[in-house]
Amino acid sequence: MREILIVILVVGLVVSLPYFFPEKEAPQLTDHELRELALSLNLKPTPTDFKTLLKIIDNPQNLLSKEKIALGKLLFFDPLLSKDKDISCASCHKLDEGGDDNLATAIGHRGQANPSHLNSPTVLNAALATSQFWDARAKDVEAQAHGPIQASFEMNMTPEELVARLNAIPSYKEIFKRVFPEDINGGINFDNITKAIGAYERTLLTRGSFDEFLEGDNNAISEKAKRGLELFINKGCKGCHTGMSVGGLSIQKFPLRRNIADLFNVTFSPDFKTIDTTFPFKNTGGFLGKDGSKTFRVPILRNVTETSPYFHNGAVKDIEKAVWIMGKYQLGIDFSESQIDEIVAFLKTLQGEIIEYRFDD
């Protein structure tokens, strides 16, 4: 009993320390200092011209061309790619709604839900990421395109069925032959289908007011958003959410930290013999990331304020709660309400429109 009391006292002391010795906030940086700091930490603006884009996202194994991108766009929106001809890539990746479907779990062929209750990641800016899917199992957008088409609970097509279906359409035969002239079989094969889709997805980059700020416009974002950006950098969010995509460049353990309060908020297994404190929310679907190791591809934060619900199984609806969870369980910081509001104000500056690239630049 004495030992328990000592533990409680020690924990209480540790928890109370911030109240007796509050962390001193650093003075707010000037606009120039904040911009230079962000740029030095690899938070970069999205380019507006196609030549610069090519240097960043072109794939040596799938060189981009105007014709290939146009073919990929046709395929991306075509429901012929699904078994019942009712689902396209755009069904789960709505380009005008953040690049996802705003559902807790993706719904596919004949209303089937993803068996692991996985949330559809955004396709916007996905080409900037170093891997695809929540468990990072695909290396690029071309490899990613192989999965949903064949998954029984998504589009439910076999490569053979899809090739036969497209070969029966004269216009597709003509376009594929023109885009892939080196293919002696006319160009329509499963790899070329996914290469075309990947080529189009590589152009789905967005720009928002944050890009304008990084390029020198001090008035592009609000003072509140600037404070949020400074918090985002100084508190450690930028450690994982970095690069032009503001995320998607690494896989990380989640959660990194546990909270003593979690001991009083646990989920029991059906036999009441074990408890689950794996995540700070109910882990519907039971997904545990890459190889069951509780590691996940870091989400891309561009347009994040449009892609609710959050986390791999869509367990959290509000962006404010998602920010609080990330602070508490990844950084060990209990963000105040005002800090959360400032960080969210910054995240809203990452909301942007798809860039209409001129392919003849």
Which positions are annotated as active-site residues?
154
Q: What is the C-alpha to C-alpha distance for residues 148 and 301, in angstroms, rounded to an integer?
A: 23
Q: Could you give the count of Cα atoms lying within 13 Å of 125 in the half-sphere of its Cβ?
A: 27
CB 255 within 8 A of CB 330: yes
- Determine the Cα–Cα distance for residues 185 and 192; give it in Å rounded to an integer: 11
| Spatial distance between the Cα atoms of 103 and 112, rounded to a whole number of angstroms | 13
Distances in Å between the Cα of 274 and the Cα atoms of 117, 255, 269 are: 22, 19, 6
Round to whole Å and give the CA distance between 110 and 87: 10
Q: Determine the Cα–Cα distance for residues 297 and 144; give it in Å rounded to an integer.
A: 14
Half-sphere exposure of 193 (CA within 13 A, CB side): 29
Interstrand relation of 295-297 and 352-354 (parallel, antiparallel or unpaired):
unpaired
